[in-house]
Structure formats: C-alpha cells, structure tokens
Structure 1
Amino acid sequence: MKLLLSICLTLALLYKAESLRCHTCTNEMCTNSNSVQCPATSTACRTVTSVTGTGSSADVTVNKNCSSLLSCITPLSVETEWSVNLGFLREAHAQICCITDDCNDQTLATPSTLVNGKVCPACASSAGSSAGTCNATLHCVGAEDSCFSGSTNTNMQLGCITRNLCGIQAAIIAAVSDYPRITCGAPWSVRISTMLLTFVLTVYKVLI
C-alpha cells in the first residue's frame, strides 16, 4: 500500500513539473502579460488578436491564455486569420496556438479591414436578416476569400467568410450562432458580382 502511494505521489509531482506554462493577459489590450502554470486540461498556449464589429464601432482586443487543443481550430504554430462578415457585423481573428512553454508571448497584428476585391451578397441590416429581405452587396475585407449563405429558424445570413472556416462546421456555428445551415461558395470578382447577385435574387424570389 505504501509503495502504491509513493508511486502515485511521484507521478503527480512529475505531471505537475511537466504542466505547460503560458502567457496570460492582465488587461484588455494585453500590454502586460504574466507567465502562469496551466491547468491539466490545457495542453496549448494561444495568442489571438480580434476585431468585432464594423467601421467606427469595431472593437479590437488581444488575448493570451492557456487553451485546450479542441479550442484551437487553427493549425499548431501557424499564424492563421479567420473571419465571418455579415456586413452589419464582422468577427475576425488572427491566432496562433502552440504547445511549448510561454510560446504565446507575441502579439499578433490586427486583422486587416482593407477591401480585397471580392464581393458577396449580404443583408443590409440585422432587421433585413430577420425579415429575409437580403438584397445588398458586401465588399469583403482582409482574408475573406469566399461567400457564404446560412439560415436559422429566425433569420437569413449572407456575407463573406474565410474559406478555412468552411470545413469547420463547429466554428461557423460558434461564429454566426443559432445553429445555422451553412453553404460556402466560390469567391466573386467585382466584375461579375452584379450579374450573379441579380441571378441569385431572382431565383430566391421564384422559390418563395
């Protein structure tokens, strides 16, 4: 019995010694951070710079923390930008997840808000989304390279998205909420967007 107890205590001490250390922020913009010992459930460090909202109402935040690998939807040790843009609401993140001590000390640049030449159909407002009257166009920004359409029990959602989210249904659900049905499409060029938008809206009106 004493031998078993000794082995358990030794293993517990070794496990604690091998626990990951990550930087965590002490304020919203993470101008200061501390290295902390992560809980056993956290096997990765994460640093993320986020933009939520559009135009002058957009908020930028920086976060560094201990994370589970399940929460890291991006490849390890690779800076990845992902974004969902409804026009009246945008959420974009630049993120790195890594698995060595204090590997998340760097602060990533804010995701770009520059127009990139892609155009997608969109809802002009949240009221239009709820009413299903989505006849606007949206100029994609930053890394957004694909259009998407989605629907929930209460509204329609159209806009721009980064293609790296198209294969991650859970991430899209988290981003646009309410268990939507999502379809990602090819990126549109400015030159043909008006023609394609007219066609899509015509078909939509016929179907309803």
Structure 2
Amino acid sequence: MDLQISVFLLFILFTAGHSFSCYECMNTEGSCAGQTVKTCPSGYSQCESATVVAQAGDITSKVKAKGCAVACQSGSMNFGIVKMTSSCCNTNQCNAQDAPDPSNIPNGKKCFSCDDKSCSNTVDCSGPEDRCIKATGTFGGQSLVVKGCASKSICDATSVSSVEAITCCEGNLCNGAQSVTQSFLFLCCSLLSYFMMH
C-alpha cells in the first residue's frame, strides 16, 4: 500500500514539474512589459511572440502578442497595410523577448498586394521576406484573396482554418495581379491569427 502511494506521489510530482509554460500577453501599446506566465494546454508544445503593425493612412497601430502554440512558424509577412513578424521556440518560457518589429528595409523583391478594390498594387518586400504569397478563402459565402510578401518558413505552413489555399512563389511579382471586389481584411485576419496563436 505504501509503495502504491509513493509511486502515485512521484508521478504527480514528475508530471507537475514537466508542465509546459509560456509568457502570455496581448498589448496594443507596443510592449509586452506586463506579461504573465501561462501553463499551456495539452498538445501545445511551442511558445510564440508576434508583432503586428497596421498602417491606415497616417495612422499606425502596433500589437504585441505572446502565448502558447500548437505549431508555430518564425518568420515575416507583409500585406502592404499589415506587416507581421513571429518568433517561435520550444522550451519553457522561452518567449520572454518581444518579437522584433517588422523590417522596413527593402530587400529588392516586389510582390502584388490587395486592397478592397483590386490586387494590382505592389509592395516592397523587406527583411527575410523572400517569397510572394497568395491566399484564398471564403468568408460569409464570398471568395476573398490576400497577397503580399512572406518568408519561406511562413510559406511552408500548410494548414490555416478558413483559408482554402496558400501558394508561394519566388520571382518578382509572381503572385499575379487579378482584381477582386471583396474586402480582404477577414482573410488577412484569419491568416494573422493563425500564425500568431497556433
């Protein structure tokens, strides 16, 4: 009887000592200074830190986010008005540092991007963004398209909920300039939320 209790207590101590945890925060003021530690749910084996910068006219908004992730890709995406960088790691509380701000230094590559009227705009890729990306999905019965720049690691991700297809290519402006009439913000948000929290 005492052996069973001892084994049970050792099991509890062993599993409690090996729970996976990450820093967590969501801040729209540009810093995760008030981050907290969160024990990750079962199946979450990575920590992520992301920085998203959105530009609308003269207004710039920056969001810093951290949390647990099932699968995570370190990299960068640039859809023209929205840019994101993410950093991923797989040890306890390894996401203490904020993800870097998206690079503003062009790397010479250009890709098509979309707004709510067409996908014939162009965006200058920056930093590690060495691919053009095109994602299509359906939201509310309407087909939506998002285009821009991405790093190879982002392109290697294959599963995003509500997104039907993600394709990447390596040549300048290789992601096509077909027009769209629907707003692309819902699909863009789906992509960003996937890469930020999965």
Contact 2:104 2:126 in 1 (8 A): yes
Match of 1:63 among 50, 57, 65: 65
Aligned residue in 2 for 1:96: 88
Q: 1:181 to 1:95 in 2, by over 3 A?
A: same
Task: Decide which structure has greater strand share.
Answer: 2
What is the CA RMSD across the aligned residues, in angstroms? 3.3
Aligned residue in 2 for 1:54: 55
Q: Aligned equivalents of 1:40 and 1:157: distance in 2?
A: 31
Q: Aligned equivalents of 2:82 and 2:26: distance in 1?
A: 26
The answer to whether the aligner puts 1:143 opposite 2:145 as a matched pair is: no
Contact 1:45 1:64 in 2 (8 A): no
Higher RCO (CA-CA < 8 Å; seq separation 6+): 2
Deviation at 1:148, TM superposition (A): 2.3
Deviation at 1:182, TM superposition (A): 2.4
Contact 1:21 1:37 in 2 (8 A): yes
Contact 1:26 1:32 in 2 (8 A): no
The answer to whether the aligner puts 1:161 opposite 2:150 as a matched pair is: yes
Q: Aligned equivalents of 1:2 and 1:27: distance in 2?
A: 50
Task: Decide which structure has greater helix share.
Answer: 1
Contact 2:76 2:128 in 1 (8 A): yes
| Aligned-pair identity (%) | 23
Point out where structure 2 has 5 or more consecutive residues left out of the alignment: 180-198
Letter paired with 1:38: T
Deviation at 1:53, TM superposition (A): 1.9
Of the two, which has the highest radius of gyration?
1
Contact 1:146 1:186 in 2 (8 A): yes
Cα distance per residue 1:64-87 (max 9 Å; x no partner)? 43x24x2323xxxxxx432142x3
Q: 1:108 to 1:118 in 2, by over 3 A?
A: same
Contact 1:49 1:111 in 2 (8 A): no
Alignment map for 1:94-133 (pairs within 5 Å): 94-100=86-92, 102-123=93-114, 125-128=115-118
Cα distance per residue 1:98-153 (max 9 Å; x no partner)? 314x4332234212133322111233x2233xxxxx33322223322111233334
Task: Tell me how many residue pairs correspond in the alignment.
Answer: 172
Cα distance per residue 1:163-198 (max 9 Å; x no partner)? 22222112xx35xxx32322211131xxxx6xx79x
Contact 1:47 1:105 in 2 (8 A): no
Aligned residue in 2 for 1:82: 76
Letter paired with 1:187: G
Aligned residue in 2 for 1:181: 165
Letter paired with 1:179: V
Letter paired with 1:183: T
Aligned residue in 1 for 2:32: 30
Deviation at 1:30, TM superposition (A): 1.2
Deviation at 1:92, TM superposition (A): 0.9
Contact 1:83 1:143 in 2 (8 A): no
Q: Return the TM-score normalized by structure 1.
A: 0.64
The answer to whether the aligner puts 1:19 opposite 2:19 as a matched pair is: yes
